[in-house]
Amino acid sequence: MERVKKVEIVTTSLEMHKVLEVLDEIGISGYTVIREVTGKGDRGIASDDLEGDILSNKYVMSICTEDQQQTLVEAIRPILKKFGGVCIVSDACWIVH
């Protein structure tokens, strides 16, 4: 197993392309995106009762190194500050196959 950082980001569909561009620029080559994420945060309730996904939230999960994590957090912070969302970084172990 390899020690890594697990990164979880939730933000609006409108800004997800910017988040994915940041991952690519940093060299984080793999991620999973889940569409139409619902929940409640400091900006109120994010529901899934709207037609289309333009105003919905999306969730992206990936892993990275500690060095990549520092760069990622600094690049993601302005996006989250402007448009809302959350970024969680935790320690994880990757089962290399």
pLDDT digits (tens, 9 = 90+) for 17-48: 999 999 999 999 899 999 888 766 665 555 55
- In this structure, what CATH number is given to the domain that contains residue 71? 3.30.70.120
Parent domain of 8: 2-94
Convert the pLDDT of each residue in 38-82 to its tens digit.
766 665 555 555 555 566 889 999 999 999 999 999 999 999 998
Residue 13: strand, helix, or coil: helix
Torsion 14-20-22-25 (CA) sign: negative
pLDDT at residue 97 tops 70: yes
pLDDT at residue 43, as a whole number? 58
pLDDT at residue 48, as a whole number? 53
Q: Looking at the 3D structure of the chain, how many domains does it have?
A: 1
Taken as a whole, the chain contains a residue count of: 97
Burial of 83 (0-12, 13-18, 19+ CB in 10 A): middle
- The DSSP symbol for 50 reads S
The pTM of this model reads 0.83
